[in-house]
Amino acid sequence: MKTPLLTGLLATTALAFGTGAALSQAADYPARPVTLVVGFAPGGPADTLARLVAQELSEDLGQPVVVENKPGAGSTIAAREVAHADADGYTLLFVTSGYSGSFAYYPSLDFTAEAFTGVSGIASTPIVITTGPEAPYADLQGLIDAARAEPDTLTYAAGGGGATLTALAAATFLDAAGLTAIPVSYGGSGPQNIDLMGGVLDFAFDTVSGSDSLIDSGQIRALAVTSAERVQTLADTPTVAEAAMPEFEPILGWFGLLAPAGTDAEIVAQLNASVATALESDAVLTRLAATGLDPMSLDAAGFDAFIARETERWGGLITELGLSAE
Amino acid sequence: MDLISNLALGFSVALTPMALLICLAGVTLGMVVGVLPGLGAITAIAMLLPVTFYLEPTHALIMLSGIYYGAAFGGSTASILMNLPGTPSSAITALDGYPMAQQGKAGVALLVTALTSFAGGTIGIILLATLAPALVSVALSFSSAEYFTVMLLGLMAAVTLASGGPLRGFIAVAMGLLFGLVGADPQTGSVRYGFGLPELFDGLNMVAVVMGLFGVAEVLANIGRDNGRPSTNRMTLREMMPSRAELRQTIAPTLRGSAVGSIVGILPGTGVLVASFMAYALEKRVARDPDRFGKGAIEGISAPEASNNAATQTAFIPTLAIGIPGDAVMAIMLGALIIHGITPGPTVISSQPELFWGLVASFWIGNLILLVMNIPLVGIWVKLLSIPYRLLFPSIILFICVGVYTVNFSTFDVFVTLGFGLLGLAMRYAGLSAAPLLLGFVLGPMMENHFRRALTLARGDLMVFLERPISAVFLVLCLLFAISWILTARKARRARTA
């Protein structure tokens, strides 16, 4: 409750000295607390990672980096706020892969991807294809054969509905494998895993962090991950390309940092370096490893190019599938 | 005895000075955030999670769970004293707790709450300690069909707890279900009733709805009635203590409530909330004089409080033993376990005995701390009531607005709160209760999800709800509820014509 007030006061003070400060903006940065806007409710995986990174950034920048949760509307409420914020490096946006689909999924947003510039990637994670402990298929090829033999019969879950990356990955996989199956809508990992364990559901798509502890303890089985290479947490699980479909274009979920477009390039470079330092700290690496994430260090230009490719791929698929929030 | 040696191990972990200190810190912090409107356990736990990375896993969990039940108790305190429930389950406590406070029995209500919470929690703990492995299979046998029917039963219970008869309760539940429709369709993601406002895409904010219906409506209803408060400023310990008769009155409801809570708490996702509603409805059904409920019946606070505390304990079963969190708070705790390299699962109890039994013992110690801490605190809480309305009301509204704003940093939510405040006022004039509306609002979206999921899994066959035995039992119970309404209504009509 105190923080916004404090930030407000500091902002007013900064405004009073504004004209003089503009010249040496990059040299003084950061002269006051930085706000990191997160489009998710406190406590979820995205928020937890954001808070951890914010803590590391605070130490490296020498100014507090304050997490502000603005959940809602597929995190476009948070994005909108940052899109309209001053491009001074004091307001940053924490984004996930969902960002790349949001412009196609929410057609009436009053800002575009041009409103942002990439700062840095933070971490990436594949989608994992899972099945119940007693499912008849031994591997991914077995699942594909079974689903081809009986089109529109097997049931599958793909996290929350709509245009989440899990749902888009499921659509991409089924299309590439030439399968049809019945989608069942679940709110998230928990409920769909209960039904996998209970044998009610045939197969599922999930984030690694949502399923890996159950995979470890043998309560559900992982058939494949959608990344280009195997991931550390699920070292025994093959990639989709290894298991059945060599041509499969990898799919990654990711987390990253954006700033309003027009932010001084030196400030962006400084933030990028701070994130890189954070990604080497033990606290962050332990957290990433525990939740099935791999660090994703990219320079600002590289991250921009990555987001552009993602936006084209998932935005295109959303349009093609006719998905829309409205 | 296995259990005794296990518990001894647990207490040896939980009674170390560090563990006690952490438990005390967690419980105290939880109580503070629980009393403040809007700031719930989730926010506090999320903010403290980074701190727990530096603690050892058992201590981290003790702290987080301390916040969790501390907040639940703090929420009850605010609903009894000021009709300001922060969560739907403490809204139930407000139904009879607030009238008691107005009759000058706030101290009694608070102490009964503390005592019955403690009793309910203890019963839940005993079950957790003895039956956890067996209960896992029960939780796993629940699929969407069962969830849908148990929630339907919850709604039937909500209809019953309305004052003024089932028809009014039914109207309130239906209104709640309608408000619950706002937001993205769970299956397709298209927004319903969003009116192009991005703030509505995820539905109405629950905290805003609760605060409006209860807190704001209460203030609005009392404006202009400033005739001072019943003088409660000087309370001796004797006056706060419930009388023997009152204590005797709470024993049976506490046991019934604990039983309901322990069973319902095992279900991931629905447990704690449905538990308190069902316990209240059960009390009202078995009571000889159901009319006293809603007007300060002591059973009306003891049963749901015992129930939600028992449920809070048994809610740990799916989290620890299957690795599936029941709610957002549990999800965060699960995350904390995983960070520390502990994989939840059926083996966690045998592979991490210090953690599991230490946690069990600390639940008990934490509940005891709450009870002890609150005996002196009750006097201070009650003093709040002696603040004149003209000072108290503006501060309550201010706290509500600030509290609701901080949940999502959204001014839109503040207006939602005020809007629901007006609705709550209108409902009072129309003789409708807010609690059934709230339960409809919270359960509606979940029920829709489970209903559609159960039908998809059954390839569209409606018979699935009758073919699965547990689900069929719940449907029969729903039918019994409906029959009892009809019988009551006919009796009432006959009495009128005669």
Each residue of A238-291: pLDDT tens digit? 999 999 999 999 999 999 999 999 999 999 999 999 999 999 998 889 888 888
Query: Are residues A159 and A206 in contact, defined by beta-carbon separation less than 8 angstroms?
Result: yes
> What is the SS3 assignment for A161?
coil
pLDDT at B229 > cutoff 60: no
Nearest to B45 among A43, A73, A219 (CB): A43
Closest listed residue to residue A59, CA positions, set A320, A274, A306: A274
Closest listed residue to residue B317, CA positions, set B126, B87, B32: B126
pLDDT, average across residues B366-380: 78
Assess if residue A225 is contained within a domain. Answer: yes
Query: Are residues B270 and B150 in contact, defined by beta-carbon separation less than 8 angstroms?
Result: yes
Assess if residue A326 is contained within a domain. Answer: no
Q: How far apart are CA B181 and CA B277, in angstroms?
A: 21
User: A182 at the B interface (CB within 8 A)?
Assistant: yes
pLDDT at B85 > cutoff 90: no
Q: Considering only residues 329 to 348 of chain B, which have any Cβ-Cβ distance to chain A shorter than 8 Å?
A: 329, 331-332, 334-335, 338-339, 341, 343-347
AA letter at B151: M
Query: In this structure, what DSSP letter does residue B54 have?
Result: T
Same domain, A218 and A302: no
Q: Considering only residues 270 to 309 of chain A, which have any Cβ-Cβ distance to chain B shorter than 8 Å?
A: 283, 286-287, 290-291
pLDDT at B293 > cutoff 90: no
Nearest to B331 among A43, A194, A324 (CB): A43
CATH number at residue A134: 3.40.190.10
Question: Scanning every residue of chain A, which has its alpha carbon at the shortest distance from the alpha carbon of B190?
Answer: A325
Q: Could A325 and B184 be called an inter-chain contact, meaning their C-beta atoms sit closer than 8 Å?
A: yes
Q: How far apart are CA B430 and CA A109, in angstroms?
A: 41
Query: Are residues A241 and A273 in contact, defined by beta-carbon separation less than 8 angstroms?
Result: no
User: B228 at the A interface (CB within 8 A)?
Assistant: no
Nearest to B457 among A200, A213, A323 (CB): A200
State chain B's mean pLDDT as an integer: 81
Helices (H), B223-317: 237-240, 244-265, 271-286, 299-314, 316-317
pLDDT, average across residues A97-113: 89
Same domain, A201 and A299: no
CATH number at residue A100: 3.40.190.150
Angle between helix A98-105 and helix A300-321 axes, rounded to 10 deg: 50
- Provide φ and ψ at A259, rounded to 5°: -125, 160
pLDDT, average across residues B328-339: 71
Same domain, A120 and A232: no
* A196-211: pLDDT as tens digits: 888 889 999 998 888 8
Closest listed residue to residue B445, CA positions, set A43, A201, A164, A185: A185
Same domain, A150 and A121: no
Angle between helix B88-100 and helix B106-140 axes, rounded to 10 deg: 150
pLDDT at B136 > cutoff 60: yes
Assess if residue A316 is contained within a domain. Answer: yes
* A113: Cβ contacts below 8 Å, ≥ 6 apart: A103, A307, A308, A311
Write down which residue in A203, A222, A243 finishes a domain.
A243
pLDDT at A214 > cutoff 90: no
Q: Considering only residues 432 to 471 of chain B, which have any Cβ-Cβ distance to chain A shorter than 8 Å?
A: 449, 452-453, 456-457, 459
Q: Which residues of A touch B52 (CB under 8 A)?
A: none
Q: Which of A36, A68, A185, A195 would best serve as a mutation to test chain B binding (most B beta carbons within 10 A)?
A: A185
Pairing of strands A203-207, A155-158: parallel
pLDDT at A47 > cutoff 90: no
pLDDT at B412 > cutoff 50: yes
Q: Is this complex's ipTM strictly greater than 0.90?
A: no
Residue in the structure block whose two tokens are 């492995």: B133
Pairing of strands A65-69, B191-192: unpaired
Nearest to B198 among A77, A105, A185 (CB): A77
Residues spanned by the domain of A200: 127-243
Percent of chain B topping pLDDT 90: 11
Please report the pLDDT score of residue A10 as a whole number.
47
Question: Scanning every residue of chain A, which has its alpha carbon at the shortest distance from the alpha carbon of B189?
Answer: A162
Closest listed residue to residue B412, CA positions, set B202, B197, B262, B251: B197
Query: Are residues A144 and A152 in contact, defined by beta-carbon separation less than 8 angstroms?
Result: no
Query: In this structure, what DSSP letter does residue B458 have?
Result: T
Min distance A108 CA to chain B CA atoms (Å)? 9
Question: Scanning every residue of chain A, which has its alpha carbon at the shortest distance from the alpha carbon of B343?
Answer: A213
Write down which residue in A243, A272, A303 finishes a domain.
A243
Which stretch of A240-244, B69-73, B252-256 has the lowest confidence by average pLDDT?
Answer: B69-73
Instruction: DSSP for A101-146, please give it.
Output: HHHHHSTT-S--GGGEEEEEEEEEEEEEEEE-TT-S-SSHHHHHHH
Assess if residue A219 is contained within a domain. Answer: yes
Helix %, strand %, coil % of chain A (to 5):
45, 20, 35
pLDDT at B341 > cutoff 70: no
Which stretch of A49-58, A183-192, A269-278, B201-210 has the lowest confidence by average pLDDT?
Answer: A183-192
Q: Could A72 and B199 be called an inter-chain contact, meaning their C-beta atoms sit closer than 8 Å?
A: yes
Helices (H), B38-186: 41-52, 57-82, 88-100, 106-140, 144-161, 166-180
pLDDT category, B194, cuts 50, 70, 90? confident
Q: Could A162 and B45 be called an inter-chain contact, meaning their C-beta atoms sit closer than 8 Å?
A: no
When divided into structural domains, chain A yields a total of 2
Look at the alpha carbons of A157, A159, A162, A163 in this order and tell me if their dihedral is positive or negative: negative
Q: Which residues of A touch B186 (CB under 8 A)?
A: 160-161, 185, 187
pLDDT, average across residues A95-111: 90
Q: How far apart are CA A62 and CA A128, in angstroms?
A: 38
Percent of chain A topping pLDDT 70: 91
pLDDT at B84 > cutoff 90: no
Nearest to B408 among A72, A184, A193 (CB): A72
Question: Scanning every residue of chain A, which has its alpha carbon at the shortest distance from the alpha carbon of B186?
Answer: A161
User: How far is C-alpha B202 from the chain's CA centre?
Assistant: 22
Closest listed residue to residue A284, CA positions, set A56, A60, A42, A125: A56
Q: Return the ∠ at Cα B163 (arms to B161 and B165), rounded to 5°.
A: 90
Query: Are residues A210 and A188 in contact, defined by beta-carbon separation less than 8 angstroms?
Result: yes
pLDDT, average across residues B147-161: 83
Min distance A209 CA to chain B CA atoms (Å)? 9
Same domain, A257 and A275: yes
pLDDT at B30 > cutoff 60: yes
pLDDT at B232 > cutoff 60: no
Same domain, A95 and A142: no
Please report the pLDDT score of residue A12 as a whole number.
47
Q: How far apart are CA B277 and CA B157, in angstroms?
A: 7
Q: Which of A3, A36, A52, A184 would best serve as a mutation to test chain B binding (most B beta carbons within 10 A)?
A: A184
pLDDT, average across residues B128-151: 76
The residue length of chain A stands at 326
How many CB atoms lie under 10 A from the CB of residue B372? 12
Same domain, A102 and A30: yes
User: A262 at the B interface (CB within 8 A)?
Assistant: no
Cβ-in-10-Å burial (0-12, 13-18, 19+) of B483 comes to exposed
Assess if residue A248 is contained within a domain. Answer: no
Chain A and chain B share a number of CB contacts under 8 A equal to 159
> What is the SS3 assignment for B383?
helix
Same domain, A232 and A276: no
pLDDT at A7 > cutoff 60: no
| Secondary element (H or E) of residue B184 | strand B183-184
For chain A, where are the E strands, in sequence order?
Answer: 34-38, 65-69, 91-96, 116-131, 155-158, 182-184, 203-207, 221-225, 252-260, 294-295
Assess if residue A90 is contained within a domain. Answer: yes
Q: How far apart are CA B489 and CA B390, in angstroms?
A: 43
Gyration radius of chain A over CA positions: 21
Question: Scanning every residue of chain A, which has its alpha carbon at the shortest distance from the alpha carbon of B452?
Answer: A185
Assess if residue A10 is contained within a domain. Answer: yes
Gyration radius of chain B over CA positions: 22
* Cis amide bond preceding A30, omega within 30: yes
Which stretch of A9-23, A276-290, B14-28, B433-447 has the lowest confidence by average pLDDT?
Answer: A9-23
pLDDT, average across residues B267-296: 80
Q: Could B187 and A69 be called an inter-chain contact, meaning their C-beta atoms sit closer than 8 Å?
A: no
pLDDT, average across residues B106-123: 85
Residue in the structure block whose two tokens are 């298991």: A243
How many CB atoms lie under 10 A from the CB of residue B30? 29
Pairing of strands A34-38, A91-96: parallel
For B32-178, where are the E strands, in sequence order?
Answer: none
Q: How far apart are CA B269 and CA B330, in angstroms?
A: 10
A72: tokens are 């809602």
Same domain, A133 and A121: no
> What is the SS3 assignment for A295?
strand
Query: Are residues A151 and A295 in contact, defined by beta-carbon separation less than 8 angstroms?
Result: no
- Provide φ and ψ at A140, rounded to 5°: -60, -40
Residues facing residue B234 across a β-bridge: none
User: B350 at the A interface (CB within 8 A)?
Assistant: no
| Secondary element (H or E) of residue B132 | helix B106-140
Same domain, A70 and A156: no
Please report the pLDDT score of residue B61 as a whole number.
80
State chain A's mean pLDDT as an integer: 87
Same domain, A132 and A268: no
Q: Return the ∠ at Cα A237 (arms to A231 and A243), rounded to 5°.
A: 115
Nearest to A184 among B43, B196, B457 (CB): B457
* B39: Cβ contacts below 8 Å, ≥ 6 apart: B33, B86, B403, B406
Nearest to A69 among B184, B188, B408 (CB): B408
Residue B14, CA distances (Å) to B20, B61, B122 in order:
6, 11, 16
Nearest to B409 among A44, A48, A69 (CB): A69
Residue in the structure block whose two tokens are 């929030």: A325
pLDDT, average across residues B163-181: 88
* A134-163: pLDDT as tens digits: 899 989 999 999 999 999 999 999 876 677
- Provide φ and ψ at B124, rounded to 5°: -60, -40
How many CB atoms lie under 10 A from the CB of residue A174? 18
Please report the pLDDT score of residue B365 as a whole number.
82
pLDDT category, A13, cuts 50, 70, 90? very low
Pairing of strands B183-184, A182-184: unpaired
Assess if residue A149 is contained within a domain. Answer: yes
Write down which residue in A189, A224, A243 finishes a domain.
A243
Please report the pLDDT score of residue B237 as a whole number.
59
Which stretch of B335-344, B356-365, B428-437 has the lowest confidence by average pLDDT?
Answer: B335-344
Same domain, A206 and A105: no
Question: Scanning every residue of chain B, which has its alpha carbon at the shortest distance from the alpha carbon of A110?
Answer: B198
Percent of chain B topping pLDDT 70: 87
Please report the pLDDT score of residue B132 as a whole number.
67
Please report the pLDDT score of residue A244 as a whole number.
92
Please report the pLDDT score of residue A14 as a whole number.
45
